[in-house]
Amino acid sequence: MASSLSPECTPLKTQYDACFNSWFEGYLEPAVAASSTKNRQEYSKRKAEEEYKACVQKAVKDSGLESTLQQARDEHPLKSPPPPDPSSLEQGKKH
Amino acid sequence: MKFFSQSFLYDDNWPIVSLAYFLRYPNPYASHVLSCDVISREQTPTGTLLTTRLILKRGNLPRWFPKQFVSRAESWLVEESEVDPYGKIVKCRTRNLDNVKVMRVEELVEFRQTEESKTLQHTEVRITSGFGWGLTKRIETYGITKFKQNIQRSREGVHLILGLIRQSRLQPMAIGHGPFPGLPHHTPTSDCSKEAHKESQAASLSASTTGAWSRVRNWFYPQRS
């Protein structure tokens, strides 16, 4: 998987990605995934996630990106997308 | 503001295309991606997965661009995604965080399952420059042209990952470690257990260098190994 922004977080990210990927593959097919293995994975994913998250949060803080990132995230883009250009949208629907 | 949109139909079904899309970094067609981190990830009460990722990409400035305005040709991007496995929809929006006055790029990508169990990808991009100095239009046109060139490459990257996932599902145990950590399909989760954590943390780097995916990567980027 791609590296973390901070080299010291990369091993934790590798670990977290491994846990997340196996969970995510089942998550994408809810009808197929067996719930018992899903729960176990959920637990271990959380453990790996906590450690990785703590590392990245510190790295983001150190990089000075925190406020820019927070500002961007506060816009809640997926809930209120900018009004698209109607003519181009029609074009999109036609492929 | 310049706008561009394009749709593309994958023959594969939605779960596998969506998986490939989220596993797409790194791939040989995305060597400009320097890092990718999950900043937050949560599931809503309805089961939708919301993820914010912070990505660092290397860009290149056009030769005619006055270099003193941009300190380095690297850019931080924020990618916000929404995965709904029941409605079979992925929505993903990416924006740059720095140099937004020079060029603000906002990309929206959607994956939906079609009635024939194929996957329709729809991509939209808006490029806005507030640079002025008579360069605004030129910058926006440059951005759109670059985007059109890159969309093909990024699709080739997703296709490559799709191929690797298919391959890992065909021979789940044969290689030990599949091309992606955590995959192949529904294998025991010893990789994730707490007991194995310390050990695998130390071993994860060496194990990943022998995985099929790393072999592919090393083949493309021998200098990185």
> What are A53's two structure tokens?
């998250």
Tell me: the pLDDT tens digits for B151-172?
Answer: 988 899 999 999 998 888 887 5
pLDDT at A93: 43
Both tokens of B34, joined, read: 């320097």
pLDDT grade for A95, boundaries at 50, 70 and 90: very low
Binned at pLDDT 50, 70 and 90, residue A84 comes out as low
- What is the least distance, in Å, from the CA of A72 to any CA of chain B? 8
Give B160 to chain A, closest Cα distance, Å. 14
**What's the mean per-residue pLDDT of chain B?**
80
Report yes or no on A38 lying in a domain: yes
Residue B175 forms part of a structural domain = no
pLDDT digits (tens, 9 = 90+) for A35-75: 555 555 565 667 888 999 999 999 999 888 888 888 887 87
Q: How many domains does chain A have?
A: 1
Tally of domains within chain B: 2
Which residue from B2, B1, B24 is spatially nearest to B121, judged by alpha carbons? B24
Residue B183 is assigned to a structural domain of this protein: no
Q: What is the pLDDT of residue B13?
A: 95
- Nearest CA to B98 among B118, B79, B73? B73
Measure A33 CA to nearest chain B CA, in Å. 8
Question: Are B24 and B68 within one domain?
Answer: yes
- Asked if A22 contacts B191 with a C-beta cutoff of 8 angstroms, the reply is yes
Give the mean pLDDT of chain A.
Answer: 76
* Between residues B124 and A85, the one the model is more confident about: B124
**Which CATH number fits the domain that encloses residue B155?**
3.30.530.20
Rg over CA atoms, chain A: 19
| Residue B70 falls inside a structural domain | yes
Residue A71 lies in a domain: no
Residue B28 has what pLDDT? 80
**For the sheet containing B2-10, what is the strand order?**
B2-10, B119-128, B104-113, B89-96, B74-84, B49-58, B33-43
User: Distance (Å, rounded) from C-alpha A67 to C-alpha A60?
Assistant: 10
Q: Indicate if B130 and B209 belong to the same structural domain.
A: no
- Type of residue found at A4: S
Chain B environment of A27 (Cβ under 8 Å): 49, 83, 85
Residues of chain B with pLDDT under 50: 174-176, 185-190, 193-225
- The parent domain of residue B210 ranges over 190-224
Residues of A with CB below 8 A from B180's CB?
1, 21
B71 and B158 share one domain: yes
Q: Residue A39 has what pLDDT?
A: 53
CB-based contact A5 B93, cutoff 8 Å? no
CA-nearest of B79, B98, B60 to B21 is: B79
Establish if A91 belongs to a structural domain: no
In a domain, B184, yes or no: no
For residues B150 and B205, membership in a common domain is answered with no
For residue B15, report the phi and psi dihedrals to the nearest 5 degrees. -60, -40
Q: What is the pLDDT of residue A68?
A: 83
- pLDDT, residue B67, reads 76
Length of chain B: 225
A34/B140: higher pLDDT: B140
Instruction: Decide if B186 and A37 are in contact by the 8 Å CB cutoff.
Output: yes
Q: In this structure, are strands B2-10 and B49-58 parallel, antiparallel, or unpaired?
A: unpaired
Whether residue A36 lies inside any domain: the answer is: yes
CA B101 to chain centre: 24
CA distance B15 to chain A (A): 5
Tokens 């003193």 sit at which residue?
B68
- Residue B180 is assigned to a structural domain of this protein: no
Give the closest of B54, B85, B91 to A78, CB-based: B91
DSSP annotation string for A18-61: HHHHHHHHHHT-TTTS-HHHHHHHHHHHHHHHHHHHHHHHHHHH
Residue A75 counted as domain residue: no
- Tell me, yes or no, whether B185 lies in a domain: no
- For residue A72, tell me if it sits in a domain: no
**The predicted structure's pLDDT at residue B223:** 42
ipTM, 2 dp: 0.75
Taking CB atoms and an 8 Å limit, are B191 and A22 in contact across chains? yes
Domain enclosing residue A57, as ranges: 1-63
Q: Is residue B176 part of a domain?
A: no
